[in-house]
Amino acid sequence: MAMQEIIEPMEETAERQPEVALPAPTAWPLVLAFGFTLVFSGLLTSASISVLGAVLLIAGCVGWFRDILPREREEVVPVVAGEEPAMTTRRVVERLPVAPDQLRAWLPLRTHPISAGVKGGLAGSVAMAVLACLYGLLKAGSIWYPINLLAGSIYAEWEKLTPSDLYQFHPGTFAIALFLHLVISTAVGLLYGAMLPMFSRHPILLGGLIAPVLWSGLEYTLLGLLNPVLESHIDWLWFMASQVAFGVVAGLVVVRQPRKVTRENISFTLRAGIEAPGTFPHDHPGEERR
């Protein structure tokens, strides 16, 4: 009986199918996206909709973070071999290099650091500001006109300004416009730094022409609903030209920065630099990880 009890576990171990650890399924990203949708929908409907969206947004963030911190939740899935092998008519199959400790290749293999997106966003903001001020001098006779228009996109008191006030310097509107311009430019620059490596062919065409034109069309549609008064003061040809200038300059700065090897195969805890005692098993008894 004892010998049989030893043999049976050995047979089960030998017949055990290979397994792979996958991220555990979660619904929190859907809750987070729905919260964002309600927040912006409330701008056109009711403030209560935005409040509900903010609650769902915070709940989605907290729930999602708890799934990945301090250690990512995973589930073990058995690997089932296919009944028929994959067949191809090609004579040569091109294979991507995969590191031994990886289960698959991560694309893109190299990406730009965060600093590249920040540099691109700041450089693009300067190009867009120069073109906007040039528009103010040529069309309106004052460089403060486009600055006051930019501040008017979020400044409610802007509607109380007289037409002559739009051509004058106002410290409050200038501070608002400068802050808004830098924040949006940096955010878009980070987006360029993350996305341009994914487009190996003509990244400047996408980031400098196609994306700004699509963004200008979206602004043209939404601004007429959110702020019709502000929409009536904007010259959309100059607006689109300034967006293209931003995209071209930011894209050129980003693509000239050196790329780094992607680290998606490393756990989120290590990539975030989080130190949590007891999270990682020791390689050897008595050895501490630093």
Instruction: Give the chain's domain count.
Output: 1
pTM (predicted TM-score) = 0.53
215 inside domain: yes
Phi, psi of 52 (to 5 degrees): -60, -40
Amino acid in the structure at residue 17: Q
The band of 288, judged by pLDDT with boundaries at 50, 70 and 90, is: very low
pLDDT at residue 100, rounded to an integer: 56
Reported as a single tens digit per residue, the pLDDT across 75-87 is 888 877 665 666 7
Structure-block tokens of residue 65: 């973070």
Distance CA 21, CA 69 (A): 17
CA neighbor of 62 nearest in space, from 37, 32, 91, 39: 32
213 inside domain: yes
61 inside domain: no
pLDDT at residue 283, rounded to an integer: 47
96 inside domain: no
Lowest mean pLDDT among 11-20, 130-139, 163-172, 207-216: 11-20
146 inside domain: yes
50 inside domain: no
175 inside domain: yes
Residue 237 domain boundaries = 111-261
Reported as a single tens digit per residue, the pLDDT across 31-72 is 999 999 998 888 878 888 889 999 999 999 999 888 888 778
Return mean pLDDT, the chain: 75
The band of 111, judged by pLDDT with boundaries at 50, 70 and 90, is: confident
pLDDT at residue 102, rounded to an integer: 53
